Amino acid sequence: MKIIRSSFTYSAFTMISRVAGFVRDIVFANYLGSGVIADVFYVAFRFPNTFRRIFSEGAFNSAFVPIYSKLISEDRNKEASEFAGNSLLILLSSTILLVGIIEIFMPSILKILAPGFYQDQNKFEMLITSARIVFPFLILVSIVSILSSILNSHGKFALSAGLPVILNVILSISVLFAAFHDNDYIFLDVLGSYHLRHNPNIFFNFCCKKK
């Protein structure tokens, strides 16, 4: 029954996420279109997500979950807590160092990864500014990844499964707010992407402390 309940929870949130993502695409298509602003945002937002798959959802996470789950199953809760804390410290330190280096060399890195933008200096400067704002998102998403794995190991799936829904809703609201208040689309979008990772940390922290 526990497997069925967990599967249903994840499937339900996945379906809601797909609907929210469809609505987000409609909002983006109507207000951002396929021009310069959309190009800059998509590249800036994809940049930290590429590193996210390497750090928080790649080999590190794959190694963390089995060890932590084994310690929990053996009722070695104190060792599990120490292991989770040390893992979080290592991941946090490495991502902060990486973010600091990339923030400094952002123009050179983007020149290599997005050479098409370099032909238009105004567009390239907009991309650099946006990428510098949104890239620290990697630090926050790494924290979310570890805390999400901890909750999943304790059989709590709802919060981590609901994160994509929060992502799509906040991005849609950011675009609509910018459209109706004649504000900067890029700034509000990247600010929205930052807060959508900062705010869940509060809830994850609270839920993990309860465990």
Residue count of the chain? 211
For 106-127, what is the mean pLDDT? 86
Residue 81 has φ and ψ, to the nearest 5°, of -65, -40
For 126-165, write each residue's pLDDT tens digit.
888 888 888 888 888 888 888 888 887 777 777 777 777 8
Task: Please provide the DSSP assignment of 82-144 as one string.
Answer: HHHHHHHHHHHHHHHHHHHHHHHTHHHHHHHH-HHHHTSHHHHHHHHHHHHHHTTHHHHHHHH
What is the domain partition of the chain in residue ranges? 2-210
Query: How much is the pLDDT for 192?
Result: 53
| Assigned token pair, 74 | 């053996």
Query: How much is the pLDDT for 206?
Result: 43
Contacts (Cβ under 8 Å, ≥6 apart) of 23: 168, 172
Q: Quickly state the pLDDT bin for 97 (edges 50, 70, 90).
A: very high
Instruction: Write down the residue that tokens 């869940």 correspond to.
Output: 200
User: By the 8 A CB rule, do 171 and 192 touch?
Assistant: yes
Give the 3-state secondary structure of residue 74: coil
Query: How much is the pLDDT for 58?
Result: 64
For 32-84, write each residue's pLDDT tens digit.
777 777 788 788 888 887 777 776 666 677 778 888 888 888 888 888 888 88
For 86-115, what is the mean pLDDT? 88
Q: Quickly state the pLDDT bin for 101 (edges 50, 70, 90).
A: very high
Model-level pTM? 0.74
Query: How much is the pLDDT for 105?
Result: 93
